[in-house]
Chains A and B, each alone.
Chain A
Amino acid sequence: MMTSPFEPEPVPSAWRHRHLLDLERLTAEEIRLLLDTAALFKEATDRCRRKLSVLQGSTVVNLFFENSTRTRTSFALAARRLGADVVDFSASTSSLSKGESFIDTARNLEAMGIDAVVVRHTTPGTPHLLAQHLDVGVINAGDGPHEHPTQGLLDIFSIRERLGDLAGATIGLVGDIAHSRTARSNLWGLLKLGAKVILCGPPTLVSDRWRELGVEVSHDLDAIVPRCDVLNLLRIQFERQSMRPFPSVREYAHLYAMTRDRLRRAKPGLLILAPGPINRGVEMTAEVADCRQSLILDQVTNGLAVRMGVLWLTCGPREPGAATVTGRPGIAARIQP
C-alpha cells in the first residue's frame, strides 16, 4: 500500500461541527458536504484501497460498548487509510467491569492524548453525553435504536451514486423501524435531501406516529413495492425486542420478506439495500440479496469512504476563523498522487 505525500490542509469552514452525533441536527448542505467529501476520498484512494496521510499523527479510539465487527473494522480501516493510529477499546476488556463509569473511562482515554472517539453504545444519547464531557471529537457509531449517522450516510451515498439527485426519489425503509438506528439516520438524511420516504412493516414495528413527520407509513409491502425506486431492508433486531412483535419469523417473512416474486412487481431499476448483517430468508431471500440490483457490497466499500470523510471533517486540521466557504473541500487538488 502506497502512502501519498500530503500537506495537512484545514477542513472547509462550511463544516462547523466538532462531532458527528446524529443526522437529525445537520442541514441539507452539511449532509451534502459529508457526501461530497466521501466521494473525493473514494476517488483519491482508488475505491478506498490506497493510503493517505491527512491524519498522520492523530489517534482515533474505537470505544465500543456493544458488539460490532463490520462497523468497527470499517472505522479502523478508514482511520488507517488516512494515516491515523487506531486504538480498539471494548467494554468487556475494560475497567467498566470494575464499576468505572463510561464517562470516566472516556476521560481517561482522552488524557492519553487522543484526537477522536468513535463510540458505539446500547443506550441512545450516550455519544451526546460524551460530547458534553470530552474536548475531543465524538463520532456516533450507533447509539441503541437512536442513530447510526455513518450508516445513514453510506446508504444515501450508495443511492446517490446510482440515482444522482435524491429529490423526488421514493425510498422504502422496510422492517424493524422501531429498533433500527439505521432507519432513523436514513430517514433524516433522506428527508433533508428531498426524497420521499415510506416506512413499511407491521404496526408493532412501525408506529403510525411517524406520520407526524410527514412520512408515509404502510403496513403492506406489496402495495408499496411498485412505487419505490429504492428499498432498504432493515434487519429484524431480535436482540433488542422485549417481546416478539410478530407471531413467527415464518409469518413475518411471508408478509415482509423481499422475494423474487415481489421483485418482479417492482420498477425495473429498483435498488436493494440492506445495512447488514442480513438474516437471509427473513428480510429477503438469497436471490434478492445477490441480484444485480443489490447494492449490499457497494454499501460496504462506500462505508469506508464515508468514514474517511467523517473522520477528516471532524478531526482534520482547522483554521481558526477560516472564512472561505467553498461548496467542496479544498482537499481535492492536494490528494492527487
Chain B
Amino acid sequence: MTAHAGTLLIRGGRVIDPAQGIDRVDDLLVRDGRVAGIGRHDGTVDETIDATGLLVAPGLIDMHVHLREPGREEDETIESGTRAALAGGFTSVACIPNTEPPIDTQAAVEFIHQKAARADTCNVFVVGCVSRGREGKELAEIGQLVEAGAVAFSDDGAPVYDAELMRRAYEYCRMFDAPILAHEEVLELSRGGVMNEGLVSLLLGLKGMPAAAEEVMIGRDIALAEVTGGRLHVMHVSTAAGVALIRAAKARGARVTAEACPHHFTLTDESLRGFDSNYKMSPPLRTAADVDGILAGIADGTIDCIATDHAPHAPEKKMLELDRAPFGILGLETAVGLSVTRLVATGRIGWPRLVEALSTLPARILGVDRGTLVPGAVADITLIDPERQWRVDVSSFRSKSVNSPFDGWTLTGRAVATIVAGRVKYRLGAG
C-alpha cells in the first residue's frame, strides 16, 4: 500500500483510541500516510476533513472475512469484497483460506497480496490453512506461510477434527506466536442440520444443530490450548454456554480470545420460521438466551472482538430449498450499524469498548501494526457518524452477493469515511 504524501487534518472529531486511553474531541493530523499527532492544529495542510459530530477511530479491522477468491469469483472477489469492507468502515480484513484452492502455500499467499495490491482498496491480511489442503490430515507449511506474510491459521468452514493434529498445530504455532482461529463444531452432532436445534427446529421439522456441537469442541480446544500453551481464538461464538466456557478459561489464564458476529447478537432461530435461506448460517442463529449471553460476553470482555464471518453466496446458489442452500450471510456493510444499534444505542457498551472490539483487539490478536492512532502509526482511520439513521439496501452493496436478511432494516451508526494509509478510500455519498 503506497502511503499518501502530504498532510490531512481531521478536525474537531471525537478521537477514540483505546490503545492510548484517548477519548476526547480534538484534531488529528496525518502526514505522509502516518499519524502525526492528536491535538489542536492551526498550521496549513493539504486537505481538511471537518469531523464535527463524528467519531475518529483507528481503522476498523474485520478479522473474519471470506473473500472467495481464488475459486469462487461468482460470489465475491478480492476487489469487490474489499470495496464492501471500505463501505462498511473497515480499513483491514483478514481473509479466511477456505478458497479453491485453499491458501496453504506461499504462492497462494502471494496471489492474495498481489490481487489486494492491484485492487488498491483496504489492507488484506492473509490467514493460512492449519492443515495441508484443509484436509485435516497433516500440518500445512506454517513456517513458510508465516514468511509469506500469513498472520494466523485456520481451517474455518470446518473444524480441525483430529485432536492430535490440533494439538500439534498449537505447539507449532507457538514458534511464531500466531493464533489458531477455530471453527468449533462436532460434525456428528450437527450433520445434516440447517438451523439451531430447539423448539423452532422441532416445529418446522428441520434438522437441528445442537448448541452442544459447538460447546463440546470449544471445550476440547480450550483444553488443548492450555496443555500446549498455544493461542486459541474462538471464531463466531454463538451460544451462551460457549461464552461461559471461554470466560472460565480466561479466568484460569489460558491464552484464549474470541469473536462474535453481529447476526449472532441480533437474530434468533425464530427468524427461520419463514424458511428464508438468508437466515441459514453456521454456526446457526440460536435462542434469545444465547443472544443475551453473547451481548453480556461482549460487554464484560469475554468476547474480545466483533467479526462478521462475511460469507457471500451468489443468489442462484442461495435461493434454494433450505437444505440445499449454503451456509452464510454478508457482514461487512452492516457490521457497524448492527453493532452500534445493538450494543451502543442500547447502552450495553460505550464507544471506546466498541472501537476496541472492532479495531484495537483484532489488531492485537492478529499481531498486525494497526488498530491505534499513536503517532507514527499507519494512518488507517474510520470516521463514524454515531447518530446517523440509515436504511439497509442490499441493492446498493459493494459486495457481489446479496445474501443479507437485514435488507430494509433501519440501523443507527454508520461509517462515513474510510481512510487507508492517509488516503480517503471511501466517503459516504461520494459513490
Q: Does B296 contact A (CB under 8 A)?
A: no
Q: Mark A180-205, 1 if CB is under 8 A from B, else 0.
A: 01001000000000000000000000
Q: Does B275 contact A (CB under 8 A)?
A: yes
Q: Mark B199-227, 1 if CB is under 8 A from A, else 0.
A: 10011111000000000000000000000
> Is A209 touching B320 in the complex (CB atoms < 8 A)?
no
- Name the segment of B13-21, B75-83, B321-329 touching the other chain: B321-329
Q: Mark B283-301, 1 if CB is under 8 A from A, else 0.
A: 0000000000000000000
Q: Which of A102, A207, A212 contacts B321 (CB 8 A)?
A: A102
Q: Which of A121, A125, A179 contacts B204 (CB 8 A)?
A: A125
CB distance from A134 to the nearest CB of B (A): 14
> Is A147 touching B205 in the complex (CB atoms < 8 A)?
yes
Q: Does A129 contact B (CB under 8 A)?
A: yes
Q: Does B274 contact A (CB under 8 A)?
A: yes
Q: Does A144 contact B (CB under 8 A)?
A: yes
What residues make up the interface of B, taking CB atoms closer than 8 Å to A? 191-192, 198-199, 202-206, 274-275, 316, 319-324
A residues within 8 A CB of B275? 124-126, 128-129
6 residue pairs, one from A and one from B, having the closest CB atoms: A125-B275, A145-B205, A146-B205, A123-B321, A124-B205, A123-B323
Known: A128-B275, A212-B199. A101 touches B320 (CB 8 A): yes
| Known pairs A122-B323, A179-B205, A209-B199 / 7 extra A-B pairs, C-beta < 8 Å | A125-B204, A126-B322, A143-B205, A145-B206, A181-B205, A212-B199, A213-B199
CB distance from B290 to the nearest CB of A (A): 16
> Is B204 touching A103 in the complex (CB atoms < 8 A)?
no
B residues within 8 A CB of A123? 321-324
B residues within 8 A CB of A146? 204-206
Q: Mark A96-126, 1 if CB is under 8 A from B, else 0.
A: 0000011100000000000000000111111
> Is B316 touching A101 in the complex (CB atoms < 8 A)?
yes
Q: Does A85 contact B (CB under 8 A)?
A: no
> Is B320 touching A184 in the complex (CB atoms < 8 A)?
no
Please list 19 pairs of residues, one from A and one from B, whose beta carbons are closer than 8 Å in the complex, sorted by A's number. Answer: A24-B203, A101-B319, A101-B320, A102-B321, A123-B322, A123-B323, A124-B322, A125-B322, A128-B274, A128-B275, A145-B205, A147-B205, A179-B205, A184-B205, A207-B202, A209-B198, A212-B199, A213-B199, A242-B192
- A184 to B205, alpha carbons, bound, how many Å? 8
> Is B274 touching A209 in the complex (CB atoms < 8 A)?
no
- A63 to B259, alpha carbons, bound, how many Å? 45
Q: Does A238 contact B (CB under 8 A)?
A: no
**How many contacting A-B pairs (Cβ < 8 A)?**
52
B residues within 8 A CB of A122? 323
Q: Does A210 contact B (CB under 8 A)?
A: yes
> Is B191 touching A129 in the complex (CB atoms < 8 A)?
no
> Is A124 touching B319 in the complex (CB atoms < 8 A)?
no
> Is A129 touching B321 in the complex (CB atoms < 8 A)?
yes
B residues within 8 A CB of A128? 274-275
- Which of A124, A129, A146, A209: most chain B Cβ within 10 A? A124
- A179 to B320, alpha carbons, bound, how many Å? 22
- A128 to B206, alpha carbons, bound, how many Å? 14
B residues within 8 A CB of A145? 205-206
CB distance from A182 to the nearest CB of B (A): 11
- A144 to B203, alpha carbons, bound, how many Å? 12
> Is B323 touching A103 in the complex (CB atoms < 8 A)?
no
Q: Which range contains the number of A residues in contact with the other chain?
A: 20 to 34
> Is B321 touching A126 in the complex (CB atoms < 8 A)?
yes
CB distance from A326 to the nearest CB of B (A): 32
What residues make up the interface of A, taking CB atoms closer than 8 Å to B? 24, 101-103, 121-126, 128-129, 143-147, 179, 181, 184, 207, 209-210, 212-213, 242
A residues within 8 A CB of B274? 128
Q: Which of B191, B199, B321 contacts A121 (CB 8 A)?
A: B321
CB distance from B172 to the nearest CB of A (A): 35
- A103 to B320, alpha carbons, bound, how many Å? 8
CB distance from A274 to the nearest CB of B (A): 20
Q: Whose C-beta in chain A lies nearest to the C-beta of B275?
A: A125
A residues within 8 A CB of B320? 101-102
A residues within 8 A CB of B324? 123
Q: Whose C-beta in chain A lies nearest to the C-beta of B272?
A: A125
CB distance from A20 to the nearest CB of B (A): 16
- A210 to B201, alpha carbons, bound, how many Å? 11
Known: A125-B275, A129-B275, A242-B192. A210 touches B321 (CB 8 A): no
CB distance from A33 to the nearest CB of B (A): 24
- A209 to B274, alpha carbons, bound, how many Å? 21
- A24 to B320, alpha carbons, bound, how many Å? 23
CB distance from A248 to the nearest CB of B (A): 22
- Which of B191, B319, B322: most chain A Cβ within 10 A? B322
CB distance from A149 to the nearest CB of B (A): 13
CB distance from A192 to the nearest CB of B (A): 14
- Which of B274, B321, B324: most chain A Cβ within 10 A? B321
- A102 to B204, alpha carbons, bound, how many Å? 20
A residues within 8 A CB of B323? 122-123
B residues within 8 A CB of A129? 275, 321
CB distance from B188 to the nearest CB of A (A): 9
A residues within 8 A CB of B316? 101
- Which of B205, B274, B322, B324: most chain A Cβ within 10 A? B205
- A242 to B321, alpha carbons, bound, how many Å? 19
B residues within 8 A CB of A181? 205
- A209 to B202, alpha carbons, bound, how many Å? 8
Q: Whose C-beta in chain A lies nearest to the C-beta of B191?
A: A242
B residues within 8 A CB of A207? 202
- A146 to B322, alpha carbons, bound, how many Å? 13
Q: Whose C-beta in chain B lies nearest to the C-beta of A123?
A: B321
- Which of B198, B199, B203, B320: most chain A Cβ within 10 A? B203
- A213 to B203, alpha carbons, bound, how many Å? 10
> Is A144 touching B205 in the complex (CB atoms < 8 A)?
yes
Q: Whose C-beta in chain B lies nearest to the C-beta of A129?
A: B275
Q: Whose C-beta in chain A lies nearest to the C-beta of B206?
A: A124
- A242 to B205, alpha carbons, bound, how many Å? 14
- A126 to B276, alpha carbons, bound, how many Å? 10
CB distance from B422 to the nearest CB of A (A): 47
- A184 to B274, alpha carbons, bound, how many Å? 17
- A213 to B205, alpha carbons, bound, how many Å? 15
Q: Which of A126, A147, A210 contacts B202 (CB 8 A)?
A: A210
- A101 to B320, alpha carbons, bound, how many Å? 7
Q: Whose C-beta in chain B lies nearest to the C-beta of A211?
A: B199
B residues within 8 A CB of A212? 199
Q: Whose C-beta in chain B lies nearest to the C-beta of A125?
A: B275
- A124 to B324, alpha carbons, bound, how many Å? 11
CB distance from A25 to the nearest CB of B (A): 10
